[in-house]
């Protein structure tokens, strides 16, 4: 038999184990329950902070958008197209947009906005004042033109870097929508870069191929042509030029870097200086390769004389003097491969009149190199 003392020891040990287990269980329950409470509070707090951060980001972007529109609008102008009727009265027949690129009244716009040589043009500044405008220069190869109004101290835009654009970047378009609602602002993103499109003018009926175009879903309407496409740093990164009538929210702008030489030429020379090769060509794609049974998959095909385009190597041009012929395929220019992304026109425009370039061509299945001295474009031969 166990002694009474031993019995009490066993009982005390059992009680200790029991209450210890109970205490541990209660502690575990309390800790578990508290953790659940803390977890729920933490989730609510994180959610609230995320919502607040998102709201602050939206407010910041909204304020940035407002600031951009307010800062750039004084630089944007409406361009009214007027024709004189038989009774001597001038009537408005259309309009577009432009923006100041110098303080003394130089305005960049689209060529198709000021394409009518018999029309008169009136510039309306953001304060509502009308100014008679003079067309100083039209680019023969790009849908760009420069007009001038008298005066000084105009607010010129800041020019950005269109080579640094990213798809998804926020942009703002400002323009004379429908030639009626001046200084209209729309907002969107860059939805594509380096597009090649064929654009037709609703005013002149002309068509033009635009290369390296910026695609945006910021609404661009008739009358917005020639207006600025702007980033959130209030810099112009494109010139609004075309819209798609088939798709939704498809607008296109000429990159501002392409236009910088136009601006500097007019400021320095009073005209647009362009190098000239003097050929009519098409860039090779699958359809062209199949149509003409070409062995080349890329390059610039100098079109054949019977293609309906007239002389394809223009008489007296640098190409003619160098011995280029219809049917030649230009593969390289100074070692730069030609492609649909780097067309002959884009590459040639990187040179100056007087520069000597070396062309690698394919003629009758043979490779040849030809040196060409570029000249300033001669409009009398076009």
Q: What would the two tokens of residue 109 be? A: 């716009």
Question: SS3 letters for 195-260?
Answer: EEEEEECCCCCCEEEEEEEEEECCCCCCCCCCCEEECCCCEEEEEEEEECCCCCCCEEEEEHHHHH
In whole angstroms, what is the distance from residue 300 CA to residue 311 CA? 16
In whole angstroms, what is the distance from residue 97 CA to residue 159 CA? 17
**Which string of b and e fits 283-295 if b means at least 16 CB within 10 Å?**
bbeeeebeebebe
In whole angstroms, what is the distance from residue 120 CA to residue 187 CA? 32
Q: Are strands 235-243 and 158-159 parallel, antiparallel or unpaired?
A: parallel
In whole angstroms, what is the distance from residue 41 CA to residue 38 CA? 5
7 burial via Cβ count (<10 Å: 0-12, 13-18, 19+): exposed
Cα distance between the two ends of the chain: 128
| Summary count for the chain: helices (H), strands (E) | 5, 21
**Residue-level length of the chain:** 382
86 burial via Cβ count (<10 Å: 0-12, 13-18, 19+): exposed
> DSSP alpha helices (H): ranges in 254-364?
256-269, 286-291, 318-322, 344-348
> Which residues are part of the catalytic machinery?
112, 143, 225
Side-chain-side CA neighbours of residue 199 (13 Å): 28
In whole angstroms, what is the distance from residue 289 CA to residue 269 CA? 41
């Amino acid at each position: 038999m166990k002694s009474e003392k031993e019995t009490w020891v066993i009982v005390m040990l059992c009680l200790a184990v029991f209450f210890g287990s109970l205490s541990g269980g209660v502690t575990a329950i309390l800790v578990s329950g508290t953790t659940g409470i803390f977890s729920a509070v933490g989730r609510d707090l994180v959610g609230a902070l995320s919502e607040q951060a998102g709201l602050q980001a939206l407010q910041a972007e909204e304020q940035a958008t407002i600031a951009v529109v307010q800062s750039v609008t004084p630089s944007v102008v409406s361009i009214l197209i007027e024709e004189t009727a038989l009774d001597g009265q001038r009537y408005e027949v259309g309009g577009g947009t432009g923006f100041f690129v110098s303080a003394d009244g130089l305005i960049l716009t689209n060529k198709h906005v000021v394409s009518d040589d018999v029309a008169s043009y009136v510039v309306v500044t953001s304060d509502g004042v009308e100014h008679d405008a003079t067309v100083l220069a039209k680019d023969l190869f790009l849908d760009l033109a420069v007009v001038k109004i008298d005066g000084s101290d105009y607010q010129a835009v800041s020019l950005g870097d269109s080579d640094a654009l990213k798809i998804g970047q926020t942009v703002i378009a400002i323009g004379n929508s429908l030639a009626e609602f001046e200084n209209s602002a729309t907002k969107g993103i860059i939805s594509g870069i380096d597009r090649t499109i064929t654009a037709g003018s609703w005013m002149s009926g002309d068509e033009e191929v635009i290369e390296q175009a910026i695609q945006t879903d910021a609404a661009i309407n008739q009358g917005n042509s020639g207006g600025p496409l702007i980033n959130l740093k209030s810099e112009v990164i494109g010139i609004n030029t075309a819209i798609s009538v088939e798709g939704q929210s498809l607008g296109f702008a000429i990159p501002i870097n392409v236009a910088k030489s136009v601006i500097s030429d007019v400021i320095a020379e009073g005209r647009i200086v362009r190098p000239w090769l003097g050929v009519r060509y098409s860039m090779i794609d699958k359809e062209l390769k199949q149509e003409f049974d070409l062995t080349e998959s890329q390059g610039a095909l100098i079109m054949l004389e019977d293609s309906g385009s007239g002389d394809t190597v223009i008489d007296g041009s640098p190409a003619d003097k160098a011995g280029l012929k219809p049917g030649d395929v230009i593969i390289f220019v100074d070692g730069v491969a030609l492609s649909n992304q780097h067309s002959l026109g884009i590459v040639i425009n990187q040179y100056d009149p007087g520069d000597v370039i070396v062309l690698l061509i394919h003629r009758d299945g043979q490779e040849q190199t030809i040196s060409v001295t570029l000249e300033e474009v001669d409009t009398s031969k076009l």
